[in-house]
Chain A
């Protein structure tokens, strides 16, 4: 079994959008993970979800990899974007839309606008 870092890089290179989370996109098991997965699901973004609760090595490895102590962690094109707070802020400010646009990630623009309206 290759080490966590290699596996993380493989996953991040194989998928444009990766969410390291507690639980899965359909069964999140932590409020913060659930919020980020919920936004991505609602916006119809295609992403790989990695359940860190099922893989202790990745759970620690991802925190070392990004030098970020908490889960969830969102990656776009191998780049660490942020945790729950940052993704929430970026969703509301529209920066997440821009990031997806520049990285040609498909998402439902109207859904994103609805999120912003709901939180205005």
Chain B
């Protein structure tokens, strides 16, 4: 799994978001997602939406991403 794969997966669900994914060891990543859809949502709701975009890559049988540090917010 590469950072660009994660970015592409997030992009599918958040086409206009500002997305930055860092991580080059294939397993540990950190991602920042800034999107208008987060406005008014609390952190759990924001991050839940991003993890849903990763469709089971986070866990479950093909849980390739062991560690994803996530930061989410609405644009200032």
A binds B: yes
Give the interface of A toward B (CB within 8 A): 31-32, 63, 67-70, 80-83, 85-86, 89-90
Q: How far is the CB of A76 from chain B (nearest CB, A)?
A: 12
Judge whether B59 and A86 touch: CB under 8 Å.
no
Give the interface of B toward A (CB within 8 A): 43-44, 47-48, 51, 54, 56, 58-60, 63, 67-71
**In the complex, what distance in Å separates the CA atom of A1 from the CA atom of B52?**
31
Q: Looking at the complex, which one of A32, A67, A69 makes contact with B60 (CB distance below 8 Å)? A: A69
> In chain B, what residue has the closest Cβ to A32?
B67
Q: Is the interface of B mostly helix, strand, loop or mixed?
A: mixed
Can you report 28 A-B residue pairs in the complex whose CB atoms are below 8 A from each other?
A31-B67, A32-B67, A63-B59, A67-B48, A68-B48, A68-B51, A69-B51, A69-B54, A69-B56, A69-B58, A69-B59, A70-B51, A70-B58, A70-B59, A80-B44, A81-B44, A82-B43, A82-B44, A82-B47, A83-B47, A85-B47, A85-B69, A85-B70, A86-B43, A86-B44, A86-B47, A89-B71, A90-B43
> In chain B, what residue has the closest Cβ to A90?
B43
Judge whether B67 and A89 touch: CB under 8 Å.
no
Chain B residues whose CB sits within 8 angstroms of the CB of A86 once the complex forms = 43-44, 47
Q: How far is the CB of A11 from chain B (nearest CB, A)?
A: 19
**In the complex, what distance in Å separates the CA atom of A85 from the CA atom of B46?**
12
Chain A residues whose CB sits within 8 angstroms of the CB of B51 once the complex forms = 68-70
> In chain A, what residue has the closest Cβ to B63?
A69
**In the complex, what distance in Å separates the CA atom of A86 from the CA atom of B68?**
12
**In the complex, what distance in Å separates the CA atom of A32 from the CA atom of B30?**
13
